[in-house]
A = this chain, B = another copy of it.
Amino acid sequence: MTIPVLEIFGPTIQGEGMVIGQKTMFVRTAGCDYSCSWCDSKFTWDGSEKNNIQKMNAQEILDALIEEGGDHFGHVTISGGNPGLLPQLDSLVDLLHTHSVKIALETQGSRWQPWFTKIDELTVSPKPPSSGMQTDFAKLDQIIESLSLEQKGTFSLKVVIFNDEDLDYARSVHKRYPAVELFLQVGNDDLETADQAELLAYLIERYERLIDQVMTDKELNHVRILPQLHTYLWGNRRGV
């Protein structure tokens, strides 16, 4: 079974979450069971790039990574879409590990895959109300429980925050899984602008506002609050 791939690029830095700043390659898979209103990678599921999807096996993906990154990478981030839809990623995870490459992966936690337990840094990112999506908490409970019992690497939760309702949602997620490290990420609701200075000022203002809210909230004493660093560097550009 091949893997549907839309982008392979890097090395660059991971801009988000638990391994923020990590030097990494990216593999972006096509297809998602969600359609978040503010998704910054809609092209992975809205059909606009379906002719660009490459069906690749694990070895072909590794070859493409080496073609892009040469010998100057040791870490790969698998992103989507929702790579958690793809049982066949198991083969890529094993192949990368046999080459001593570490793997980070992000999924919304709507589907379980047994290979999740082999990911070195797994981010489970359930989507808050502003996305327009509904979290299946029974499913998420199962996933968090399985990871808590079996995960060989590390894992964390990440919630993107656009408004107060999203922050309420993050609070309830934190209460439900208090033992799991939680990252709050400032949402970027300006995916169109090409004016980098303006975007930057706007994003930093939003970041500061989120920090202010969390600082006085005793239910959120143990969280980490992060921006998307790549947007600070490269705005809304793709492939960086």
Enumerate A50-108 residues with CB–CB distance to B below 8 Å.
70-75, 102
Q: Does A233 contact B (CB under 8 A)?
A: yes
Q: Which residue of B lies closest to A234 (CB)?
A: B208
Q: Does A149 contact B (CB under 8 A)?
A: no
How far is the CB of A49 from the nearest CB of chain B, in Å? 26
Using known A-B contacts A23-B225, A183-B21, A220-B23, determine if residue A12 contacts B201 with beta carbons closer than 8 Å.
no
Enumerate A190-209 residues with CB–CB distance to B below 8 Å.
197, 200-201, 204, 207-208
Interface with B: A31-39, A111-119, A131-139, A211-219, which one?
A: A211-219
Q: Does A169 contact B (CB under 8 A)?
A: no
Q: Are B208 and A233 in contact (CB under 8 A)?
A: yes
| Cα A197 to Cα B207 with chains together (Å) | 16
Q: Does A41 contact B (CB under 8 A)?
A: no
How far is the CB of A239 from the nearest CB of chain B, in Å? 14
Q: Does A128 contact B (CB under 8 A)?
A: no
| Cα A236 to Cα B13 with chains together (Å) | 25
The residues of B that contact A197 with a CB separation of less than 8 Å are 197, 201
| Cα A20 to Cα B218 with chains together (Å) | 20
| Cα A13 to Cα B215 with chains together (Å) | 8
The residues of B that contact A72 with a CB separation of less than 8 Å are 215-218, 221
Q: Are B73 and A224 in contact (CB under 8 A)?
A: no
| Cα A222 to Cα B225 with chains together (Å) | 23
How far is the CB of A181 from the nearest CB of chain B, in Å? 10
The residues of B that contact A12 with a CB separation of less than 8 Å are 211, 215
Using known A-B contacts A200-B200, A226-B20, determine if residue A215 contacts B75 with beta carbons closer than 8 Å.
no
Q: Does A130 contact B (CB under 8 A)?
A: no
Query: Of residues A19, A214, A229, which shows the largest number of chain B Cβ atoms within 10 Å of its Cβ?
Result: A229
